[in-house]
Amino acid sequence: MIGLKYWPFVLKQVLRHRIRTLLTIAGVATAMYLFVAIQAMQRGVAEATQASAADTTLVVYREDRFCPFTSRLPEYYLPQIERIEGVTSAVPVRVVVNNCRASLDVVTFRGVPSDRFAGTIGRDADIIDGDLAGWQRRSDAALLGETLAARRGLKVGDQFDAAGITAYVAGIIASDQPQDQNVAYVHLDYLQQQTDKKLGTVTQFNVKVDDPANIERVSADIDALFGAAEQPTTTRSEKAFVAQVAGDMIELIGFTRYLGWGCLIAVLALVGNAIILSVQDRIKEHAILQTLGYSGSLIGRLIVTEAVVLGVLGGMVGAAGALITIRLTRVSFSVDGLSFPIHADAKLLGMGLLIAVTLGVLAGMVPAIQAGRRPIATCFRAV
């Protein structure tokens, strides 16, 4: 936009009023921090709830129940589900949470049969510390999602208590699946004995289907099979299930997008105000620049570049601060045992910087046009 020889002039203008520059950068950084954090929450909700054409996982839940404490299905449903055409695997799961309300620090225990973990849920996860054999050897062993382990500072060999359950950390898993990142997988019979004092009751069945095209037919077949049973079922795709159960939380997080837009407007106003004040102080200099042969277009581009520098500096500080905070805290929203991870990565950082550049250009346009079109005689009369 401008030649390299003009950059020292632009930087000199930025540093000319250091207090004003620092306050502007601090304001932009605060707004961009909030914007990036909100975008990270929105992305976590989208990852957990937006269905894709490749989804093949169904969740079988008790009909008209949405909380893991109230969904109770007999474990003997399992062989009947497995016999339905199109079902490749099914896992009975007992879910226990230490807090059923919306919270940032929820421990979700998922009890699964030890002989079915590796061939089903374990296929989507990598054990990054510990081993599966160690988990299978101990009845109280747990495999922790890496988000839960990092947030609680747990490592292999530790013991922890939550929801009245004591578990031994046998391994830590990494997974792209949102519901595997904030969870503790334990043995099904151990969790049943700890909570129900008896075996045979589960919260849900996780069912894998051979083809995404069959997912609706299989879900209808399962519900029809148990329609007249004492415990009827409702079967949905996993992401549709998450979206329905946590509808209120999703709606609340969705509202935050308006706060994000408000942050961008604040950035635009802060940079624009700083540039306008700076340009008003420099009318005499613009007259001198025009006398020296600087065109109105060049003066305008210098002003826009100054606005972009302010936007980028503030955007970089704010976006990087949000990224570091999210990475260090590893927080995630949870409601009814379902997790919505807050994801921030380099792509989100790049998006924040791109938006900062765009807002810098927009904020500098009006004062740049005014300064560029101001006749030299008018500049001298204003001195």
Question: What pLDDT, on the 0 to 100 scale, is given for residue 255?
Answer: 81
Q: Which two tokens stand for residue 322?
A: 């949000």
Tell which phi-psi region holds residue 66, choosing left (phi > 0), alpha (psi between -120 and 50) or beta.
alpha
142 neighbors 184 (Cβ within 8 angstroms): yes
Greatest C-alpha distance within the chain: 92
3-state secondary structure of 141: strand
**Residues in the chain with pLDDT < 70?**
1, 51-54, 100-103, 122, 245-248, 382-383
Place of tokens 């989208």: 46
Q: Tell me, rounded to whole angstroms, the distance of Cα 271 from its chain centroid.
A: 28
pLDDT tens digit sequence for 344-369: 788 888 888 898 889 888 888 888 88
Distance CA 298, CA 55 (A): 54
Q: Residue 263: what are its φ and ψ, rounded to 5°?
A: -65, -40
Closest listed residue to residue 315, CA positions, set 42, 24, 18, 1:
24
Would you state the torsion angle of the CA atoms of residues 7, 13, 18, 23, taken in this order, to the nearest 10 degrees? -90
291 neighbors 376 (Cβ within 8 angstroms): yes
Q: Which two tokens stand for residue 356?
A: 């900062």
Distance CA 31, CA 269 (A): 11
**For residue 84, what is the DSSP state?**
S
The whole model's pTM is what?
0.74
Closest listed residue to residue 114, CA positions, set 84, 89, 87, 134:
134
Question: What pLDDT, on the 0 to 100 scale, is given for residue 52?
Answer: 65
Amino acid occupying residue 257: R
Question: What pLDDT, on the 0 to 100 scale, is given for residue 53?
Answer: 62
Distance CA 130, CA 134 (A): 7
Task: Give the DSSP H or E segment for 193.
Answer: helix 188-195
Amino acid occupying residue 133: A
Distance CA 129, CA 135 (A): 11
Strand 204-209 to 87-97 pairing: antiparallel
Q: Which two tokens stand for residue 341?
A: 């991870």
Distance CA 334, CA 179 (A): 10
- First-to-final CA distance of the chain: 29
Closest listed residue to residue 32, CA positions, set 368, 365, 344, 250:
344
